[in-house]
Chains A and B, each alone.
Chain A
Amino acid sequence: QAQLVQSGGGVVQPGGSLRLSCAASGFTFDNYGVVWVRQAPGKGLEWVAHVSFHGTTKHYADSVKGRFTISRDNSKNMLYLQMDSLRAEDTAVYYCAKQRTARPNALDVWGQGTTVTVSS
């Protein structure tokens, strides 16, 4: 069945960088848009970034624009989130998720989540 398995995450100092990875299996990865969503401790869900099925169209939340870069490698069925200039407020559990279709749609498959802690 469709599955997303995340890796990366950890503790990083303010101003540092981190890369999250998300491995897709059980579906044709390059048929779907994919996103990153985060959840700060005790808070709600925040949509972070989206990349289209072909990888050429990207969108970001204002809170991460210019600091985070979403990318995908369809040959490897992989999604990435490069996070630079990290701030304390970026501390959260990060989820990757796939859209139901190539076009804008709800998120029907989610990764297990990975924790990012930004602290000195």
Chain B
Amino acid sequence: DIQMTQSPSTLSASVGDRVTITCRASQSAGASLAWYQQKPGKAPNLLIYWASSLESGVPSRFSGSGSGTEFTLTISSLQPDDFATYYCQQYYTYPYTFGQGTKLEIK
């Protein structure tokens, strides 16, 4: 199985900050990487697919990059609605594993 490791596990930031979350795969996941945002009590919401493609309706302040074993999610200017937990997921090979999550908190 491909293990996905996110860092940091928790991130404290302020509105307007630029933040980056990293996701590392234990073996190559190609470009088969998605990022999701989840708020408490809600289902996850797709942000990025194929490592860098922005899902329709997602604000352009979200961007993704990377391939192989290292991927990043960047939020260019944090907005109040962005404080949530973020997960990466590889869909390169079964089982389609998720990272452990990164909780983005208000500083």
Chain A residues with a Cβ under 8 A of chain B: 35, 37, 44-47, 50, 59-62, 95, 97, 99-100, 104-108, 110-113
Chain B residues with a Cβ under 8 A of chain A: 1, 32, 34, 36, 38, 43-46, 48-50, 55, 87, 89, 91-92, 94-101
- Interface SS of chain A: strand
Contact of B46 among A35, A44, A104, A107 (CB under 8 A): A107
Chain A residues with CB under 8 Å of B96's CB are: 35, 47, 50, 104
| Among B44, B91, B97, B98, residue most surrounded by chain A Cβ atoms (within 10 Å) | B91
Chain A residues with CB under 8 Å of B100's CB are: 44
Chain B residues with CB under 8 Å of A107's CB are: 34, 36, 44, 46, 89
Say how far B73's CB is from chain A's closest CB, in angstroms: 13
Q: Determine if B55 and A108 form an interchain contact, defined as CB atoms under 8 angstroms apart.
A: yes
Q: Determine if B95 and A106 form an interchain contact, defined as CB atoms under 8 angstroms apart.
A: no
Chain B residues with CB under 8 Å of A50's CB are: 94, 96
Look across to chain B and name the residue whose beta carbon is closest to the beta carbon of A60: B95
Chain A residues with CB under 8 Å of B94's CB are: 50, 59
Say how far B68's CB is from chain A's closest CB, in angstroms: 17
Chain B residues with CB under 8 Å of A35's CB are: 96
Q: Determine if B43 and A111 form an interchain contact, defined as CB atoms under 8 angstroms apart.
A: yes
Q: Determine if B95 and A110 form an interchain contact, defined as CB atoms under 8 angstroms apart.
A: no
Chain B residues with CB under 8 Å of A100's CB are: 49
Chain A residues with CB under 8 Å of B99's CB are: 44
